[in-house]
Structure 1
Amino acid sequence: MIKFKKLGLSDDMLSILKSQRISEPTPIQEQSILLINDGHDVIAEAQTGTGKTLAFLLPMFENMSPNIDTIQGLIVTPTRELAIQITQEAMKLKEAKDLNILALYGGKDIGSQLKKLKGNIHLVIATPGRLLDHLNRNTINLDHLKTLVLDEADQMLLMGFKNEVRSIISYTPNNRQTLCFSATMNSEVKKLAYKNMHDPKLVMIEKKEVTLENIKQFLIETTDRRKQEDLCKILDEENPFMAIIFCRTKRRVDNLEEDLYQKGYNCKKLHGGISQAKREKVMKAFKNLEIQYLITTDVAARGLDITGVTHVFNYDIPENAESYIHRIGRTGRAGEEGYAFLFVAPKDETTLNTIEKEIQLKIPKRILT
């Protein structure tokens, strides 16, 4: 805990981390926490799974006061799942400092959110659309905001939230602290960040080798007609402990889930077209090992921390290498071995060549018997 202590964390916070068996800060935490604690604006680039959430939550908690009856911290994140995940992490820190935390995202009853907003809230974790809804209704006041976090900024812009983010920023005070966390720092993210920040400090964590050593990757050559049959063969051969199957669209997810369920596989679907209550139920069931196969779009590929996933199946080839890396990064975590399968039809050859070139690996073929 010595390194954490040097980062200026309180004894109460140190004991919370100890109880969670977190003893060493990750590189992103080590480089960001002191800067944030000192009040600097920070632009941080680090891959998913590097401890970004605690890198901003820990200093935010240190800098907020339960005795001030205003919203002091705001975290804006692109998806409901990420908002829920960050909220869960924040709730674990409440023992160190009893801050009132509210998650705002679509699909949740707006009435109950309005009721909670009338109380004393210190930290809000929100998706752009629902937050803007409240700001336009004047049901949330950010006049005394101390710290604004734009989490997964690249994904937020990719999902078309640029105007919403700009509008949200316009409701916050000019003297706020702004933190921008992103897996990639493309020109759009930089433009957004620098335009809205005061002399930001840049933290860049070197990307790990793209092809993580503990993920074994395999290529399955197939055709669109034969793909489902080949998937079932490999599922039966491997019988994964816990697996994620990625499809390109919501409709593809719906169809595959229905077909696999009919064949007796223990599976559930997850995508943006499903009600929020059901999405939460599915995620909880998957984390509790009640579901063996989670069939999903890329909504679950980014940021979600699901431990125990042994296999990832790219039923549909991802659009690019970055998406492929994010998908297969759901397995092989915490030193465990993981397996990733990529199904490729003849029409996918060009995309495959691009992915292999980018990850500098000729993915070995798995021949199905």
Structure 2
Amino acid sequence: MSYFDSFELSSEVMKAIKEMGFEEPSPIQEKAIPLIVKGGDVIGQAQTGTGKTAAFGIPVIEKIKEEDQFVQAIILTPTRELAIQVSGELQKLSKYKRIRTLPIYGGQSIGHQIKALKQGVHVVIGTPGRIMDHLRRKTLKLDRIHTAVLDEADEMLDMGFIEDIEEILKQVKGERQTLLFSATMPPPIKKLSYKYMQNPEIVSINRGEVTAPSIDQVYYKVLERNKLESLCRIIDSEEIDLGILFCRTKKGVAELTEALQARGYIADGLHGDLTQMQRDSVMKKFRDSTIEFLIATDVAARGIDVENVTHVINYDIPQDPESYVHRIGRTGRAGRKGLALTLVTPREMKHLRSIEAEIKMSIPSSNVPTFEEVVEKQQSSWKKQIETLVEEDQDNALFSGMTTELLEKYPPEKIITALMKMTFATETGSDDDGYDFGETGGAKGMVRFFINVGKNVNMSPKILIEEIADLVGIPGKAIGRIDIFDKFTFVEVPEEVAPFVYEALRHSRINGARVNLEPAKPRPKRERKPFTK
């Protein structure tokens, strides 16, 4: 696979890419960037999370002429959230160039946007509706645009933006390069491409021939806010001789290495910024089992062939099925048994499902070990540590006074139990997930959530049950009462999965509609009779 420097990018953009922690292009970037740089129209079929923003963002930034103070590129996105996200990515990529990007979306003061446009903007990223507002007011001109990008075109189709998109493209005068990115290619999107694109090159990263080696695999549902804590629980409950932990970026490698070292784990990091001497030193420690955990990016792990790796842990879920297969293939070498573990947050469940579809197998799930389970596993290790300290018979005069006082007041077994709990509870953490939903009016053992859409988006119990079951990985029958009204919905879920439902659905889509989910308030004494599951 090629590196970014093979694309012959400017030093300013290369410096920005390096600072963002990217070491090598993702599959969509590797295929799309060279074609886009050539200047032709390109269709990219890729899911969210595959690096498609940088795939079109890098060539767009390279093409902008800083001295020309007018809009040179327009990027259409289906939602304000994506517009802000794309704008942020482009700002990072253009950190060392004098390029102004502006996200334009509904819900923000149009006066503020007009003022910014008058001051001079190079790239506009916006939702079709708000872009149309500006075109009608003549506060945005598209007559000197050289690049038009349609991001998540199928989402814009689902949201009814197709007519606005056509009207916007009609107003882009002269020759332009058109780039279209979409996870799927329904007929209306194909029709749009035939009408407004010139002989587009098609780039797809959907690979149906990816297969996984015969290694035991499992994934853990983890909350984003407790991800590091969950990792520590998992590795404390596993018998790991040598493990490789994968992160998406070298910044992630550095942060995870520091966090694990601070918690007493014997770990070291491997990423592209290391010199060959530093890399050799880390690898020697790993091969000699001087360190237990090697934390690496995909690029840094290339070429590693250590036979006695017992575990591969995807701390960050890989961005495509091929990367997943390459990663987990680092264990189970030379006929030995290997285990591949993947941490998946609620928002990443759909990405996991796409990996399962590509490797043609279902990856079993497991729950993050409880505090009690970790204590049970670790007791033998802790006992050895205590015995070693006792047998060393060091001078402990500093603690003798306090020891005597405590022994006069409490039985020895109570003191030891308290000290064990105080010392080792900090290592294993607690079972608190950090969410307190309070009284929501749900049945006993259930949390009741409010969703801000209902029959107005054709919500049905079946659709909601399937969405929750798919994202959270629980059986549909575990979901409790569902009350669907015209413009809102209530749903009850078991307390133990409520945090996962909350993180998965709070800013998701159902039937193409952006939804928000919040803990419900306690039931009033009377409610209108709803459509009930």
Is the Cα–Cα contact under 8 Å of residues 16 and 95 in structure 1 kept in the other structure? yes
TM-score (norm. length: structure 1):
0.64
Is the Cα–Cα contact under 8 Å of residues 46 and 181 in structure 1 kept in the other structure? yes
What is the CA distance between 1:247 and its match in structure 2?
Answer: 7.9
Is the Cα–Cα contact under 8 Å of residues 70 and 122 in structure 1 kept in the other structure? yes
Match of 2:293 in 1: none
> What code does the residue aligned with 1:15 have?
K
Aligned residue runs from structure 1 range 230-309, under 5 A: 231-235=493-497, 243-245=503-505, 248=510, 257-259=518-520
SS of match in other structure, 1:75: strand
Structure 1 pair 93–242 and aligned structure 2 pair: CA distance change class (3 A): farther
Is the Cα–Cα contact under 8 Å of residues 70 and 122 in structure 2 kept in the other structure? yes
Structure 1 pair 132–247 and aligned structure 2 pair: CA distance change class (3 A): closer
What is the CA distance between 1:116 and its match in structure 2?
Answer: 1.1
Match of 1:210 in 2: 354
1:219 aligns with 2:475: yes
Structure 1 pair 204–116 and aligned structure 2 pair: CA distance change class (3 A): same
Identify unmatched segments of 5+ residues in structure 1: 264-345, 348-369
What is the CA distance between 1:12 and its match in structure 2?
Answer: 1.7
Is the Cα–Cα contact under 8 Å of residues 479 and 494 in structure 2 kept in the other structure? no
Match of 2:80 in 1: 80
SS of match in other structure, 2:188: helix
How many residue pairs get aligned? The number is 261
> What code does the residue aligned with 1:42 have?
V
Structure 1 pair 235–40 and aligned structure 2 pair: CA distance change class (3 A): same
Superposed CA offset, 1:295-341 (max 9, x none): xxxxxxxxxxxxxxxxxxxxxxxxxxxxxxxxxxxxxxxxxxxxxxx
What is the CA distance between 1:206 and its match in structure 2?
Answer: 1.3
Match of 1:95 in 2: 95
Match of 1:199 in 2: 199
What is the CA distance between 1:221 and its match in structure 2?
Answer: 0.8
| Distance in 2, Cα, partners of 1:10 & 1:162 | 35
Structure 1 pair 141–88 and aligned structure 2 pair: CA distance change class (3 A): same
Is the Cα–Cα contact under 8 Å of residues 128 and 164 in structure 2 kept in the other structure? yes
| Distance in 2, Cα, partners of 1:249 & 1:241 | 17
| Distance in 2, Cα, partners of 1:252 & 1:141 | 29
| Distance in 2, Cα, partners of 1:35 & 1:252 | 33
SS of match in other structure, 2:121: coil
What is the CA distance between 1:138 and its match in structure 2?
Answer: 0.9
Structure 1 pair 54–225 and aligned structure 2 pair: CA distance change class (3 A): same
Match of 2:40 in 1: 40
Is the Cα–Cα contact under 8 Å of residues 40 and 200 in structure 2 kept in the other structure? yes
Structure 1 pair 262–90 and aligned structure 2 pair: CA distance change class (3 A): farther
Aligned residue runs from structure 1 range 1-369, under 5 A: 3-207=3-207, 208=321, 210=354, 212=356, 216=365, 217-222=473-478, 225=481, 231-235=493-497, 243-245=503-505, 248=510, 257-259=518-520
| Distance in 1, Cα, partners of 2:158 & 2:144 | 29
| Distance in 2, Cα, partners of 1:183 & 1:193 | 14
| Distance in 1, Cα, partners of 2:40 & 2:67 | 23
| Distance in 1, Cα, partners of 2:97 & 2:148 | 19
| Distance in 2, Cα, partners of 1:2 & 1:243 | 36
Superposed CA offset, 1:210-269 (max 9, x none): 354668333241465379886133337xx6598223685899977x6242x659xxxxxx
Identify unmatched segments of 5+ residues in structure 2: 208-320, 322-352, 357-361, 366-472, 484-489, 524-531
SS of match in other structure, 1:139: coil
Match of 1:303 in 2: none
Superposed CA offset, 1:83-121 (max 9, x none): 011111111123231101111100100111111111111
| Distance in 2, Cα, partners of 1:131 & 1:184 | 24
Is the Cα–Cα contact under 8 Å of residues 105 and 130 in structure 1 kept in the other structure? yes
What is the CA distance between 1:37 and its match in structure 2?
Answer: 0.7
| Distance in 1, Cα, partners of 2:49 & 2:168 | 27
Structure 1 pair 226–163 and aligned structure 2 pair: CA distance change class (3 A): closer
| Distance in 2, Cα, partners of 1:147 & 1:252 | 28
> What code does the residue aligned with 2:104 have?
L
Is the Cα–Cα contact under 8 Å of residues 91 and 101 in structure 1 kept in the other structure? yes
| Distance in 2, Cα, partners of 1:86 & 1:145 | 18
The structure whose Rg is larger is 2
Aligned-pair RMSD on alpha carbons?
3.1
| Distance in 2, Cα, partners of 1:86 & 1:46 | 16
Structure 1 pair 215–135 and aligned structure 2 pair: CA distance change class (3 A): farther
Is the Cα–Cα contact under 8 Å of residues 74 and 145 in structure 2 kept in the other structure? yes
| Distance in 2, Cα, partners of 1:9 & 1:146 | 19
Is the Cα–Cα contact under 8 Å of residues 8 and 34 in structure 1 kept in the other structure? no
Is the Cα–Cα contact under 8 Å of residues 222 and 230 in structure 1 kept in the other structure? no
Is the Cα–Cα contact under 8 Å of residues 101 and 124 in structure 1 kept in the other structure? yes
Bigger relative contact order (CA 8 A; separation at least 6): 1
Structure 1 pair 25–223 and aligned structure 2 pair: CA distance change class (3 A): closer
